[in-house]
Amino acid sequence: MNYKAFTSSMQYAEGFELSKSDYDFFKKLVKKKHARKSNKNLAGNLTHEYNLNEYIPQARIILDKVIINSPFANNQKKDHVNRLFHESNGPKIRFHLGELWVNYMQKNEFNPLHHHSGIFSFVLFIDTKMNFKKEDLQAHVKEANNKLPGRFAFYWPEHIKTLGERQLDIDKKWEGRGLLFRSDTSHTVYPFSVSKGPRITISGNYFVTLE
């Protein structure tokens, strides 16, 4: 698996890549009809958001081997123990996948600035056909100094009065890849209007328990 911090100064997120067989599992999963809508439990201004908790046992087998032993997760474990017990050699803890859902983002829909529950979270990019060149050529965008249509963006406190930000152009090259980030990290997904949708992602939250 390939792990990559996006910037040396940004400790809130890290990238990972699924194997082809693992990616195929999630591609098949998003093609199923899902009955349990999650709109009332999620921040997204989306028509189609569905609870996938029934698939956690299968998903956990894949995601745990990718995520639990990642450098990012290990750093979060140390940080969590320090914050809770004020010592680096506190009680042993373990992570478990507690929530799983799928988003089907259509044109003009968006995810407002929000954060998640849990200790850290992830998003898997299953189908991302964004065409940022076309998005950025729209009349209301082409002369802007900060082009945002369709972008995934993180925001974090950097100084007393400022926020750090990182905007990512999540296009087809990201399919089969994901982002792992602290659950309290604010993030948003801006609406797109000319790219081919839907933009399909699977997200989840990991929680911590004492061993």
How does pLDDT run across 175-211, given as a tens digit for each residue? 999 999 989 999 999 999 999 889 999 999 999 887 6
Are 104 and 46 in contact by the 8 Å Cβ rule? The answer is yes
Tell me the one-letter amino acid at 211: E
Cα separation of 8 and 5, whole Å?
7
| Confidence tier at 13 by pLDDT (50, 70, 90) | confident
Tokens representing 118 are: 């849990």
Q: If you average pLDDT over every residue of the chain, what do you get?
A: 87
Cα separation of 198 and 211, whole Å?
41
Are 192 and 107 in contact by the 8 Å Cβ rule? The answer is yes
Closest CA to 104 of 170, 39, 176, 167: 39
Residues sharing a CB contact under 8 Å with residue 15, sequence separation 6 or more, in sequence order: 2, 3, 4, 5, 6, 177, 178, 179, 180
Provide the pLDDT for residue 142: 92
pTM above 0.95, yes or no: no
Burial 7-18 (b: 16+ CB within 10 A, else e): eeebbbbbbbeb
Provide the pLDDT for residue 85: 59
Alpha-helical (H) ranges within 32-136 are 56-67, 71-85, 132-136
